[in-house]
Amino acid sequence: MNTGRNIPRRSGWKLAQAVFAALLALTVVGIVRAGGPPWKTKPFEQWTQKDVKEILGNSPWTKVEYVPAPWKPGGSGAVSPEAGPAPVMGAAPTMGRGSAGTAGASQGAAGGPADAGEQPMGTPQGQATYYIRWNSSLTVHEALVRDAILNGKMKESDAGKYLSAPITDYELLVLGPDMTPFQHATPDELKAKSSLRGKQSKVDVNATNVNMVRSPNGGRLTAVVFTFPRKTAAGKDVAAAREKGLQFECKLKDLDLRSTFDTRKMVDQKGPDF
């Protein structure tokens, strides 16, 4: 007589398969999350120094550009074998989010070339390296705050004072071991010669403010911070609703610096961040 004992056995096996599949899926998700970028996988309070370095030096918010350097003697732009990797561009921020780039640049580029004009390893012959950071990103601000906390320059309890300030404009920081082309330009000239353009919107704007950041003694120029409005005077958004990229350009005598930021990748746990 058929007692029906095979039925529960088969049901149990199917249930076990379902549970196993669910656990496997969770495991895969866990692995993906664990191996993802820090700005998508954990809150900034848990970022390590390695995470901060990745965000400030190798993320969608940071670009490395090589440009011809005709201002150098003979235009050689020789590469030093002792030059370091791309700088982290991080340092203790001051209170007030708009000055984060100023604080970071004024103390130099961690991990970068030791001497002014010395190009990092990997720079093509006859060219100069420039690092461009999207400074108005919340992710970047959080990384600067976390860096300050990890280096004992800020108390964790003070982080909120800095991060709570609203971001009203786009801000880009430019620095490099050789800032010669910028050294000979005035803020007004830099405002007129720099622009930000949406690839989808086709809307472009000039910088409304330029901050020339110099070494502590007020001498050597270490970085330039450009501020751009999010809208034109007529109220048109620089970034379209589904913008694919924002193009930065600064064209001076002997320098044509351009870079495009992919806004589709500039995303944190909460969504677009630029």
**What pLDDT does residue 165 have?**
86
* 199 touches 76 (CB < 8 A): no
Whether residue 69 contacts residue 120, with contact meaning beta carbons closer than 8 Å, is answered with no
Nearest by Cα to 39 from 168, 132, 171, 140: 140
**pLDDT of 148 over the 70 cut:** yes
For residues 181-200, average pLDDT: 96
CB 230 within 8 A of CB 215: no
pLDDT digits (tens, 9 = 90+) for 192-250: 999 999 999 999 999 999 999 998 877 789 999 999 999 999 999 999 999 999 999 99
- Decide: 97 and 35 in contact? Cβ < 8 Å: no
